[in-house]
Amino acid sequence: MSKLSLFSNASDLRKQQPKLYNNNFTDCSFAFEFIAMNTSSTFNVSPEFERVTANVGFPDVDSVGILDVPASNFSRLFYIKTNDLEFIRTSGIGLTNTSYGVVGNPALSVTDGVIPFHAYPSNFSYAYSKIRGGYANPTLDLADNTLLYQDYVRYTAKSITGGYALSDIFSNEQALLNGVANMDPLFNFNLSTLLNNASGCENVSANITPSMTHYNFVISCKTLVDNLLADAVNENTNNASSYLRGKQFLADLEIQSKLQEDANYLNVANMSNSGENTSLVNFSGFSTKKYWVIFHPGDVMAIRLNYFPKNGSGNKATNASGNLGGNPINDRSYKIYLNMK
């Protein structure tokens, strides 16, 4: 008998059985349900999600900005995978076999991952991030009215002059502003390369240690998932928005699980209807499941961009006439919050 038939018959046995019947699981002439044999017992172990692992975040930055991006671009970036095959252990501590990964690759049977930084039609324009803190020029009329490309050129002016932080000091002001915007493609390329190089970094909790290759990628995925699960645990201990976001994460897992099951049913049914041998059907969809962390409007993910001056950090600006002032220009770092829309 095919696995499809066995699975279907077993599912039907959940219903009330009105008479004696036979089944396909034992070698018997009949089966009956001894209805007096109905008892209960209480399961006394409380379930727990993975403990949240602290993620220290980025080092301090000079400035903070925000940039609107499509949420859909990032919904094939982080994933978890489980084969859901657990066993009772007679000694030691049982460990979850959930694995965490980023993007994935064919060797990991993850082929629908998307690197978001080269999926956007024109890539992300970090130069147009709105600065929210750490202004090079904190004048009130520039607060909440400054884009990153403006801030960086003002910072350059402030560094050279020792205090004057307006870009109009430069005769080639427009070229400097454009120069900041022209850095965006390289930032997108570098971020894409980082993710592409880490696309095979999937690992289970027990093996996620600082000494592993691409540790920062895997621990970031685990931290994200663990915190979303923690947000869904208790409405009374989490604020309303966190709790709702955690519940949404569980709903996203449920939707993906249902889609996988439907796909397997459809695959098996099509094979059965076509006359193929369904006893050879691969049921891996039930034993190995992959779930993406779906991003939604209102979610925010931060990245860190470092802007190096032309002559290197700590050196003076120069032009054809020599040094431009006597003050050094240092690296400037920005934490960019990618605001999902």
- pLDDT digit string (tens) for 209-259? 999 999 999 999 999 998 898 888 877 666 788 899 999 999 999 998 888
Domain-embedded: residue 148? yes
Average pLDDT over residues 91-109: 79
pLDDT for residue 6 is more than 90: no
pLDDT at 340: 94
How sure is the predictor about 281, in pLDDT bands with cuts at 50, 70 and 90? very low
Domain-embedded: residue 52? no
Exposed e or buried b for every residue in 260-286, given b needs 16+ CB within 10 A? beeebeebbeebeeeeeebeebeeebe
- Strand-strand pairing, 63-69 and 332-340: parallel
Three-state DSSP class for residue 128: helix
pLDDT at 317: 87
Lowest-confidence range among 73-77, 79-83, 107-111, 183-187?
79-83
Q: Which residue has the tokens 């400037």?
A: 332
Domain-embedded: residue 14? no
Domain-embedded: residue 24? no
* Number of neighbours of residue 228 by Cβ within 10 angstroms: 20
- Strand-strand pairing, 203-204 and 332-340: unpaired
pLDDT at 318: 84
Please report the DSSP string for 187-206 in residue order: HHHHHHHHHHHTTT--EEGG
pLDDT at 339: 94
pLDDT for residue 147 is more than 90: yes
Beta bridge partners of 92: none
How sure is the predictor about 28, in pLDDT bands with cuts at 50, 70 and 90? low
Domain-embedded: residue 74? yes
Domain-embedded: residue 157? yes
Domain-embedded: residue 127? yes
Lowest-confidence range among 118-122, 152-156, 198-202, 273-277?
273-277
Domain-embedded: residue 34? no
Predicted confidence (pLDDT) per residue in 74-97, tens digit: 999 999 998 665 555 444 444 567
Range of the domain at 238: 64-340
Domain count, the chain: 1
pLDDT at 262: 66
CA distances from 81 to 153, 182, 253, 327 (A): 45, 39, 11, 53
